[in-house]
Amino acid sequence: MYLIVGLGNPGKEYQNTRHNIGFDVIDVIARQENISVTEKKHKALIGKGIIAGRKVILAKPQTYMNLSGESVRSLLDYYKADETEELLVVSDDISLPPGQLRIRKKGSAGGHNGLKNIIAHLGHDCFQRIKMGVGEKPEGYDLVDYVLGRFDGTDRKIMDQAALAAADAVRLILTEGADAAMNLYNKKVKTEE
């Protein structure tokens, strides 16, 4: 049983913000795979389905970002998923340019409070993740205001494409493993000069 968790904050006021790109990716996968993510369980909205021949749970924790680990821990315990092999977390990353993906099999939270809380609840950082670049905070901006802000029109288009790419990366991880996905997606995004 694969557990695919997109990080974000619940509520309309947080929809389409930089911090909710994990939720956006879960929504894309749910649409593409015809999985309804509406069941309330384990402090999350979840949906069960089959992707690339594998049983999956799509989850959007409803604990708010900083407590994401509570939901992830509960889901892992209930479904008896292997934390290092069957957990895949999708989150935003301000250290990557908009639209760039970075897939990892382990690593620090990098200052991301959702990942930090998951690591605290797991007791280790050895789980697969897809980090979605949302761009660096501009000089003088408050970090919270930036990540809870929305993308402008150009960046929104880039992020919509990146969400589609992340959904493809999830399928590749399910079928061929994280290394194959890392080889394909962990490249620098070409920017126009």
Copy the structure tokens of residue 111.
């200052």
Alpha-carbon gap, residue 116 to 123, rounded angstroms: 10
pLDDT band at 159 (very low <50, low <70, confident <90, very high): very high
**Residues labelled catalytic:** 19
pLDDT in tens, 104-135: 999 999 999 999 999 999 999 999 999 999 99
Mapped onto helix, strand or coil, the DSSP state of residue 107 is coil
pLDDT in tens, 91-109: 999 999 999 999 999 999 9
pLDDT in tens, 36-92: 999 999 999 999 999 999 999 999 999 999 999 999 999 999 999 999 999 999 999
Q: Can you give the pTM of this predicted structure?
A: 0.95
**What pLDDT score does 187 carry?**
79
